[in-house]
């Protein structure tokens, strides 16, 4: 059986001691991979360290030097353009890898349709991402981080890199995940790979970062629409069997960047867990309503949820079931229609691209 080949791309800007520790751990815990080090206009001290570190690597390393700081995303794109292996893995210097970290990512990328895979993060500088469900080793997700990210080559060579006009974080990554999904590739997180994040140095003014984030958010919404957070109540007598189509729609919506909180009575929650639906996507959260005074517990949960998510959209479950205590609700059919319309629009754009490129898509 073919063992996938791996490039590990490390974009570097200064922080020589932290960077050396990161690179040394990569060599120790992933000796089969090739290192692509992109020196993004670092100072002389860092440059000398990288040259010294890279020299003995031979064919196991590729050192790329930029005379000025191009920014994180352009540096990553430079590394991706030079990667010719089955898997390209982005790793930031403030991240420490652990035993078997690479094995978990490689195995996850062998799953059908997987194109983007994230490890689980810990440490003081860990990005805040939705958690993996207990007992689950692999879940789909919409939220990933440049701290560590594995990409399938057959996918990233079709996507023309990350958009350098967007921010170097949230909106750039969301755009990439959406473009990957439009090509049929899923984004996942695996608990079989774990890395530890130190505090990442932040440079530049807060005002400039906020402005870039605002512009990127506007651009993303113009391309893909607004991501919603839906709270759905299916009712006491709902059947999991009858809701299978609804769950497929919800999973599709989560892949489009929407979030869902499902408020489930005890029996329905148990059935969802038995069917594995609780671990389908990190954008789908399930809350079990207490069997003791369920109406009161439902109202309490809705109040708490709306306080945390002011723009929450309450949704009446399939069949027009009432949503106790909620007046301004929408039927599930309206949500399903919006999700299906977005899917059809993406499918149409993908078909046009397929024709324009002579069928050169994934």
Determine the 3-state secondary structure of 290 from DSSP.
coil
> How far is residue 211's CA from residue 200's CA, in Å, rounded to a whole number?
20
**CATH 3.40.50 matches 229-342:** yes
Determine the 3-state secondary structure of 120 from DSSP.
strand
Closest CA to 254 of 143, 133, 118: 143
CA atoms within 13 A on the CB side of 113: 13
For residue 362, the model assigns a pLDDT of: 38
> How far is residue 252's CA from residue 250's CA, in Å, rounded to a whole number?
5
For residue 348, the model assigns a pLDDT of: 58
- Domain positions in the chain: 6-223, 229-342
Per-residue pLDDT of the chain (362 residues; tens, 9 = 90+): 578 999 999 999 999 999 999 999 999 999 899 999 999 999 999 999 999 999 999 889 999 999 999 999 999 999 999 999 999 999 999 999 999 999 999 999 999 999 999 999 999 999 999 999 998 999 999 999 999 999 999 999 899 899 999 998 999 999 999 999 999 999 999 999 999 999 887 766 788 888 999 999 999 999 999 999 999 999 999 999 999 999 999 999 999 999 999 999 999 999 999 999 999 999 999 999 999 999 999 999 999 999 999 999 999 988 778 888 777 899 999 999 999 998 877 765 555 544 444 554 43
Which CATH code of 3.90.550.10, 3.30.1390.10, 3.30.1330.20, 3.30.420.10 fits the domain covering 6-223? 3.90.550.10
Measured in whole angstroms, how far is the alpha carbon of residue 66 from the centre of its chain? Answer: 28
DSSP assignments along 221-263, one per residue: HHHH----EEEEE--TT--TGGGHHHHHHHHHHHHTT-EEEEE
């Amino acid at each position: 059986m073919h063992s996938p080949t791996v490039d590990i791309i490390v974009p570097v800007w200064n922080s020589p001691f932290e960077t050396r520790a990161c690179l040394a751990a990569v060599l120790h815990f992933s000796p089969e991979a090739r290192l692509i080090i992109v020196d993004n206009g670092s100072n002389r001290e860092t440059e000398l360290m990288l040259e010294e570190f890279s020299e003995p690597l031979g064919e196991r390393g590729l050192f790329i030097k930029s005379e000025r700081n191009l920014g994180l995303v352009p540096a990553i794109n430079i590394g991706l353009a030079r990667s010719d292996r089955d898997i390209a893995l982005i790793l930031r210097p403030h991240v420490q890898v652990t035993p078997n970290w690479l094995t978990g990512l490689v195995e996850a990328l062998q799953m059908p349709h997987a194109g983007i895979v994230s490890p689980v993060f810990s440490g003081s500088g860990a990005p805040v991402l939705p958690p993996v469900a207990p007992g689950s080793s692999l879940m789909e997700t919409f939220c990933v981080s440049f701290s560590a990210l594995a990409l399938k080559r057959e996918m990233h060579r079709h996507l023309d890199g990350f958009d350098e006009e967007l921010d170097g974080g949230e909106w750039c990554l969301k755009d990439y995940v959406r473009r990957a999904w439009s090509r049929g590739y899923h984004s996942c997180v695996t608990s079989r790979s774990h890395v530890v994040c130190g505090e990442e140095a932040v440079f530049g003014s807060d005002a400039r970062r906020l402005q870039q984030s605002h512009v990127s958010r506007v651009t993303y919404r113009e391309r893909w629409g607004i991501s919603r957070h839906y709270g759905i109540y299916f009712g006491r007598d709902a059947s999991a069997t009858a809701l299978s189509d609804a769950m497929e729609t919800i999973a599709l919506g989560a892949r489009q960047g929407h979030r869902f909180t499902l408020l489930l009575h005890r029996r329905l929650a148990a059935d969802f867990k038995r069917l594995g639906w609780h671990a389908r996507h990190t954008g789908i959260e399930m809350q079990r309503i207490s069997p003791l005074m369920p109406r009161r517990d439902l109202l309490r949960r809705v109040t708490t949820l709306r306080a945390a998510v002011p723009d929450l959209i309450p949704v009446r479950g399939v069949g027009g079931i009432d949503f106790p205590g909620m007046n301004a609700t929408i039927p599930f059919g309206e949500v399903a229609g919006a999700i299906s319309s977005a899917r059809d629009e993406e499918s149409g754009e993908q078909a046009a691209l397929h024709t324009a490129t002579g069928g050169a898509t994934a």
